[in-house]
Amino acid sequence: MGSRIRQFREIGRGGYTLVELVVVVGILIVLTAIGLPFFSAMMQNSRLDAATRQIADDIREARSKATQSGWDYKIVGFNAGGSSTYKNQYRLLGRKTGVAWPADTGPNLQTSTQMAGPWINFNQLYQNVSLNPSVSTESFYVSFNSRGAVFESMSFPLTITLQSGGSRQVTVTSIGGVRTQ
């Protein structure tokens, strides 16, 4: 009978006490509280980097489409600080050379002489990332001709600032080059 009691005692020793569980949970809470700000900052920087790549790639795509198709292409966007219903968004517009641009805020369309692409909405895609938040003008734009050169722009070079905690810049030179910083 004494051997059976020893067996039960040995079986019961495999668990954890309440004090041990509370200590482990407390350590996990402290580690989470310390790591959460770092994780949040990492996520914010990741969104900012992705947004920067997106707009830079779309500007390069506009230039590429212009040289391949012989049309003029334009990126037009509305700054985050503006009052437009399209603030913090941009889109790609295209036109056959010599034809008027489609309306900046018009519907998406594709005809034999004009094109207006869908809106890229930073409010939905990249939360807390702002396009030109401190710029006083309502909008920005840059247009490329069939040789890939800039022929219309808000300024030369055009700089688009993206902010979310930190900031990044996309710069379009007068010859159509795109740099990110």
Q: Domain of 134: which CATH number?
A: 3.55.40.10
Domain presence at residue 7: no
Q: Which domain holds residue 33?
A: 16-180
pLDDT in tens, 147-158: 999 999 888 899
| DSSP at 111 | -
Provide long-range contacts, Cβ within 8 A and 24+ apart, for 102-109.
104/76, 104/139, 104/141
Phi/psi of residue 99, nearest 5 degrees: -100, 150
- Which pLDDT value is given to residue 39? 81
pTM: 0.81
- How many distinct structural domains can be found in the chain? 1
Contact 142, 124 (CB under 8 A): no
pLDDT in tens, 37-67: 888 888 889 999 999 999 999 999 999 999 9
- Which among 12-16, 32-36, 51-55 has the top mean pLDDT? 51-55
Domain presence at residue 9: no
